[in-house]
Chains A and B, each alone.
Chain A
Amino acid sequence: MKCENLEKIDLYFEKKLNDQERAFIAEHLETCDACHGYLNDLKHTDRVIGQLKSFNPELANPLAFRNEVLAKINPIQESVFQSTLDRIVEAIISILVKPATKYAFVAFAAIFFGLFVYQQSMIFQKMDDLEKRMESKAENVPTSRELSLETFFKRKEAKMIEEKHTDNLLNEHRYLQLKYTILLKVLKDRHPDTYREFIQKIEKETQLPTDKSNDYEDL
């Protein structure tokens, strides 16, 4: 049988009743088994939840955990564009092994070079933008008297972040250049004729200054 006071037991347990109701329920509890039992259930539940709450789970090996995550997030391989480049480099290198397909190689290499120039120009564009932003900020710098400590630190922080951006762009650029250099080196070693042909093609199709392509040749 249900007791009509059962609903009040929740409020009694949560100490949400006024003094009068409280006294009434306290007295009622002494004679009603249903309400008394229900209050015990509430207390028991509360105790178990309290125990669950006080338990703080810990990783067995936080260091390994961190390193595993970091190993999974290599930002360079993450980018779709970079993985496209990777595939092209792989394709080109596999073609290099078969000398008969040197014309196919030249075609591939031309596409690759196009991507390289495009990617590089994007990086330079980003760097220019960043530089302009920093310059325009520098123009608006107030005199030291106007500069509060807070804005000083905010500026310092902003500068730090921008430098980080520049670093990342530079790394991206270096990575790209490295891949391109490796590709050319492989080509030069194994197929000097195709190499010369390729360089000529590049010079014809793009207006890359010769001194720049010499940079790659040296490597």
Chain B
Amino acid sequence: MPIEIPYDLIQLVKAGDQQSFGKLIDKCSNYVYGIALKMLGDADDAHDAAQESFIKIWQKIHTYKSHFKFTTWLYKIVINTCLDRLRDRNRDNTIFQKVDDHTDLTTTTEPKMEFEEQEFIAYIRMISERLSPRQHSVFVLHDLEELGQEEIAKILNMSKGSVKSNLYHARKAIRKILISLDKAKTNAL
């Protein structure tokens, strides 16, 4: 679900206008939060990452060149902020214990048509823990955000070939996760 940010709004933010920056935040805070939640699988962490991203946007807006799509630039900032957090999380394994607090997916019945937030978060959390940060980013951008491979390559600073292979491995890993989840479900019954 791509968003449109008017060109003049970006120019006003570039000129240092705080009020316009407030408008920009209003326009894309849910969007940025959504990307962060898909990357991190934790509501509090995603909230903080989204705020950090906006602060970076404010500090770096003068480096944004308007021949680029604004959303591509935005993704770059949000994804990098989240990748830093994922890296910190890997360093500090204690955070992983938080996973146990989330919804136990093995006890849920057949998937409903729509996800509840807790279920969504639990799935994302599980996927993000099993995939490498690169695979997870490619998966989020391609399968959930529905971006093209070329744009993803730009956002993640990798080749198109690398995007493809990361996507292939990500999907394979996700399939495995879901199968093992199914097995756990049948065993639980």
Contacts and interface: CB of A to CB of B under 8 A. Distances in A.
B144 A53 contact: yes
A194 to B, nearest CB: 37
Contacts, number: 108
Interface stretch (A41-49, A81-89, A119-127): A41-49
Contact of A165 (B8, B15, B123): B15
Interface in A45-70: 45, 47-49, 51-59, 62, 65-66, 68-70
B29 A65 contact: yes
Contact of A48 (B22, B25, B34, B111): B111
Given A41-B178, A56-B1, A157-B8, A73 B51 contact: no
A75 interface: yes
A42 B117 contact: no
A23 interface: no
A160 B30 CA distance: 29
A161 interface: yes
Interface size class of B (residues with CB under 8 A): 35 or more
A111 B33 CA distance: 46
A52 B115 contact: yes
B16 A75 contact: yes
Contact of A72 (B17, B33, B55, B175): B55
Interface in A164-189: 164-165, 168
Nearest to B117: A57
B4 interface: no
B178 A55 contact: no
Interface in B138-189: 143-144, 146, 171, 174-175, 178-179, 182
A62 B175 CA distance: 35
24 contacts: A42-B175, A51-B113, A52-B123, A54-B115, A56-B30, A57-B30, A57-B33, A57-B37, A57-B120, A58-B33, A65-B33, A65-B51, A66-B25, A68-B51, A69-B58, A73-B18, A73-B21, A73-B58, A75-B16, A160-B12, A161-B15, A165-B16, A168-B16, A168-B17
Nearest to B8: A157
Contact of A59 (B12, B14, B47, B124): B47
Bin chain A's interface residue count.
Answer: 20 to 34
B54 interface: yes
Interface of A: 41-42, 44-45, 47-49, 51-59, 62, 65-66, 68-70, 72-73, 75, 78, 157, 160-161, 164-165, 168
A75 B114 CA distance: 43
**Most chain B Cβ neighbours within 10 Å, of A47, A56, A69, A160:** A69
Contacts of B26: 62, 66
Contacts of A65: 25, 29, 33, 47, 50-51
Given A62-B26, A65-B47, A164-B12, A49 B111 contact: no
B11 A157 contact: yes
B16 A164 contact: yes
Contacts of A73: 18, 21, 55, 58-59
Contacts of B179: 41
A56 B54 contact: no
Contacts of A52: 38, 115, 120, 123-124, 143-144
Given A57-B117, A157-B8, A168-B15, 6 more contacts: A48-B174, A51-B111, A52-B143, A56-B34, A57-B34, A69-B51
